[in-house]
Amino acid sequence: MSGAPARLLVVVPHETDPPARLGAWLAQAGLELDERRPGSGDDLPATLDGVDGLLVLGGPQSAMDDERTSPELVGVRRLLAQALAADLPTLAVCLGAQLLAEVGGGRVRKGVGGPEVGATLVAKRDAADADPLFGPLPLSPDVIQFHHDEIAELPRGATLLASSPMYAHQAFRVGRHVYGLQFHIETTPEIVEEWAERDVVGVAASPLDRETICARAAAVHPDLEEVWAPFAGRFADLVRSRARAGAAAS
């Protein structure tokens, strides 16, 4: 007789970046998703008790925002700090990765190379070959970028897993189970279209116009699914392993 499904807390800091396809892949992998939207008024749990994994998504806020500017991020930072301390299986995306970097002793700043927008590639670092999530990925997987800030310094003790020519710190791991992705893997073409419409400054900084950015992003979404859906499955395995270990200890 199997126990309850492993529980993943999904934190959506802003409604413009829902879990979308990533949430569907994780649910298909057997996880129970508990989605909270603090930017829309949802309460976040005070602790990660009873949670087997954590997913923190992105949004237009900045990791450098103070409590008055973005009060909804206070609880997100608290949960990321708890996840780091417990080495809880965690996936932090874009803003989530920047918050993770800061909580872990790294540093975020306005991107010195300007906004990074649209479909692009990242390159695995040598350390990724031995990583359980990143090892099976192709050398230069497709991703979606939409950020103005950059992770200038990684958290203490972090392992760099992927880079790009524009921004070096594209993916990293802290401990054994806590991961940060500067890029997006969760999007749909419609989400990218909404971002491109909202982010006038980011689009203006790109050498491509908005229509081309959206068309190129739409074209790579099948490749994104081919690469990142199995990645999501491997992350779900980490969460399930944590759940099993917790059940055995109780």
- Residue among 72, 147, 184, 193 flagged as catalytic: 184
**Cross-strand pairs, 125:** none
Closest CA to 216 of 121, 132, 93: 121
Give the tens place of pLDDT for each residue, 218-239: 999 999 999 999 999 999 999 9
Spatial separation of the C-alpha atoms in residues 35 and 139, rounded to whole Å: 32
- Residue among 94, 102, 150, 214 flagged as catalytic: 94
Known catalytic membership, residue 14 = no
Known catalytic membership, residue 148 = no
Maximum CA extent, the chain:
57
Give the tens place of pLDDT for each residue, 149-177: 999 999 999 999 999 999 999 999 999 99
Q: CB 114: neighbour CB atoms within 10 A? A: 15
Q: Taking the CA of residue 66 as centre, how many other CA atoms within 13 Å lie in the half-sphere pointing to its CB?
A: 1
Known catalytic membership, residue 214 = no
Spatial separation of the C-alpha atoms in residues 48 and 78, rounded to whole Å: 10
Spatial separation of the C-alpha atoms in residues 244 and 107, rounded to whole Å: 34
Question: Residue 217 is inside which H or E element, if any?
Answer: helix 210-249
Predicted TM-score of the model (pTM) = 0.96
Please tell me the predicted confidence (pLDDT) of residue 4: 83
CB within 8 A of 203, min separation 6: which ones? Answer: 117, 196, 209, 210, 213
Work out the percent of the chain whose per-residue pLDDT is above 90: 94
In which residue are the tokens 């009873």 written?
50
Mean model confidence pLDDT for the chain? 96
For residue 39, the SS3 value is helix
Please tell me the predicted confidence (pLDDT) of residue 1: 34
Please tell me the predicted confidence (pLDDT) of residue 250: 63
- Residue among 116, 150, 186, 193 flagged as catalytic: 186
Burial of 113 (0-12, 13-18, 19+ CB in 10 A): exposed
Q: 62, 97 in Cβ contact below 8 A? A: no
Give the tens place of pLDDT for each residue, 27-37: 999 999 999 99
